[in-house]
């Protein structure tokens, strides 16, 4: 599964994990828009940045030359998933979002994390196969 640069540019747009991150990002923005102004400018801004980081690191990783480089960006994206959920959990603890909203977004991000893990596993398997074939 070597990351071949001759493939379709912007191929990430068709990936389910990318589409799921975009959908989750839109939901996070909707949550932040309803926050009090002081939180919107602080924690709200941070959670938007971390949710966007999930999206952008998938996109950036897809354009890298090697599977190892792509995997590194998926690691960063996975870290941003955790950061996003932690920020949303803080909003829940401050009673700024409903438990149902938090649970829904937590499950979305859990699914995204699993998808990224699956992607990374495929990359590792492809690299192992290439190594064993040589």
| List of domains in the chain | 11-133 (1.20.1440.60)
Task: From first to last of the 134 residues of the chain, give the pLDDT tens digit.
Answer: 445 555 678 999 999 999 999 999 999 999 999 999 999 999 999 999 999 999 999 999 999 888 889 999 999 999 999 999 999 999 999 999 999 999 999 999 999 999 999 988 888 777 666 666 65
pLDDT for 123 equals 81
Residue 124 token pair? 């590792």
* Max Cα distance, the chain (Å): 59
Give residue 7's pLDDT. 66
pLDDT computed for residue 66 by the predictor: 86
> Which pLDDT value is given to residue 1?
46
Q: Provide the pLDDT for residue 125.
A: 77
Residues in the chain: 134
- 29: number of Cβ within 10 Å: 14
Classify residue 35 by its DSSP letter.
S
Among 96, 86, 6, 31, which Cα is nearest to 54's?
Answer: 86
Which residue is it, tokens 């989750």? 24
User: 47 to each of 5, 10, 11, how far by Cα in Å?
Assistant: 32, 25, 26
Phi and psi at residue 131, in whole multiples of 5°? -65, -40
Contacts of residue 129, defined as CB under 8 A and 6 or more positions apart, other chains included, come to none
């Amino acid at each position: 599964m070597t990351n071949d640069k001759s493939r379709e540019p912007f191929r990430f747009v068709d990936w389910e994990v990318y589409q799921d991150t975009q959908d989750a990002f839109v939901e996070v923005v909707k949550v932040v828009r309803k926050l009090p102004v002081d939180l919107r400018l602080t924690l709200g801004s941070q959670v938007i940045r971390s949710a966007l980081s999930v999206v952008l690191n998938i996109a950036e990783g897809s354009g890298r030359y090697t599977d190892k480089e792509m995997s590194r960006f998926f690691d960063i994206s996975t870290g941003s998933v955790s950061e996003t959920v932690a920020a949303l959990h803080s909003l829940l603890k401050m009673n700024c979002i409903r438990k149902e909203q938090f649970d829904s977004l937590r499950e979305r991000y859990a699914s995204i994390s699993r998808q990224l893990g699956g992607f990374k596993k495929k990359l590792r398997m492809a690299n192992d196969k290439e190594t064993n074939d040589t």
